[in-house]
Amino acid sequence: MFSSVWNFVKRHKKKFIVTGAVVGGVYFLGKYAQKKLRELQEREAAEYIAQARRQFHFESNQRTCNMTVLSMLPPLREAIVTQLNSESLTALLKTKPANKLEIWEDLKIVSFTRSIVAVYSTCMLVVLLRIQLNILGGYLYLDNSAGKSAATPLAPPDVQQQYLSSVQHLLGDGLTGLMTVVKKAVQNSLGSMSLKHSLSLLELEQQLSWIRAEVEAGSQRPLCWYMLADDESALAEQACGLTESDLITVRLLNETRDMLESPDLSTVLNACLNRGFSRLLDNLAEFFRPPPGDSGKCITDTVLSVVSLPLAKIIPIINGQINTICSEAPSHLVQDLLMNDQVKEFAANVYESFSTPQELQK
């Protein structure tokens, strides 16, 4: 019996060898596949965790942006009111001076100028801080991801403070320059208009459109100039005498200017301004209601084009709008800007660009 088995094995020896090799190969191939599958699963899990961590960091960063904007609104309002002080003109009118008409004319220009400047500067503040804090947020994410292995932090604490302090340009020289341009446009549009002249809401909207056109298209400076100073150019030219922190700050400022000068930013800022002036008109519309006897009428564009107010009555209404636009509590305008889809998408793109390691961007 054993001899017959042995003879069978000898006759089919090659087949047994081949079969054994195949079985062994399949076994080791299966082990290799299992190893690769496990590595793939571990890598996917690590990527998912990293993506979740970055998403959490991004969302937290946006909340910081919102809170920072709200904290900057009171000093912005104070800066506008200080330079465009209509309250002093109102106080003079109460004394019944001889040059009453002249003071009213000044009040007309100041009132329109400061409310229009409030819309522009609030929109600019939202956009600028969105850019700055998402550039910083992206670099901080990379610094935290690198941990102690990072030779030089991309955004050290002293650089963060120095970089964010550049927003003071918008509240200082930038705001002053913006006021000059807006005041000139207001003067050209409303300067010769009599205080007794009546305007409907639609006519007032047209006046605001003309003023916007002169400010945005007629000015020699782009709107981004009012948001960020050119000081970093001078610093860059003297780079040999700057500290390492100064050089990092210069780099951040240059990156910010690149963002401010991008076509995408122009689109986003224009969307914010459209919403801002739309909200301003919504606020003014409350004062252009039909008389009580006509309360049954539907408030349509036709009605709003018929209901009109003398310019002298519109002045105190427009003058008080700054308290609504730049209020400590989130106004409808500020909420609209913070929740604007284009602003949020732009912020996400900025964060994505600066939170991606350079080797992955190549």
- Residue in this structure with the two tokens 């000081």, named with its chain if needed: 231
| Structural domain includes residue 9 | no
More confident residue, 292 or 193: 193
Number of domains the chain contains: 1
More confident residue, 327 or 324: 324
Mean pLDDT of 61-76: 91
| Domain region containing 177 | 70-289+306-357
Q: Dump pLDDT digits (tens) for 88-101.
A: 999 998 988 899 99
| Structural domain includes residue 95 | yes
What one-letter code names the amino acid at 295? S
Picking from 261, 273, 337, 222, the residue whose alpha carbon sits closest to that of residue 120 is 273
More confident residue, 60 or 205: 205
Whole-number Cα distances in Å, 268 to 7, 128, 258: 87, 11, 15
| Of 30-44, 107-121, 239-253, 260-274, minimum mean pLDDT range | 30-44
Q: Does pLDDT of 249 surpass 50?
A: yes
Q: Dump pLDDT digits (tens) for 331-340.
A: 788 999 999 9
| Structural domain includes residue 301 | no
Q: How far apart are CA 329 and CA 264, in angstroms?
A: 29
Mean pLDDT of 1-15: 53
Q: Please tell me the pTM assigned to this model.
A: 0.82
| Structural domain includes residue 32 | no
| Of 41-45, 160-164, 180-184, minimum mean pLDDT range | 41-45
| Structural domain includes residue 177 | yes
Torsion of CA 284, 290, 296, 299, to 10 degrees: -40
For 219, the 3-state DSSP assignment is coil
| Structural domain includes residue 257 | yes
Q: How far apart are CA 257 and CA 225, in angstroms?
A: 9
Mean pLDDT of 306-326: 92
Q: How far apart are CA 290 and CA 308, in angstroms?
A: 9
What one-letter code names the amino acid at 17? I
| Structural domain includes residue 80 | yes
| Structural domain includes residue 35 | no
User: What pLDDT shows up at residue 10?
Assistant: 55
More confident residue, 20 or 31: 31
* Average pLDDT of every residue of the chain: 82
Q: How far apart are CA 348 and CA 211, in angstroms?
A: 32
Q: Which residues pair with 199 in a beta bridge?
A: 309
| Of 127-136, 140-149, 322-331, minimum mean pLDDT range | 140-149
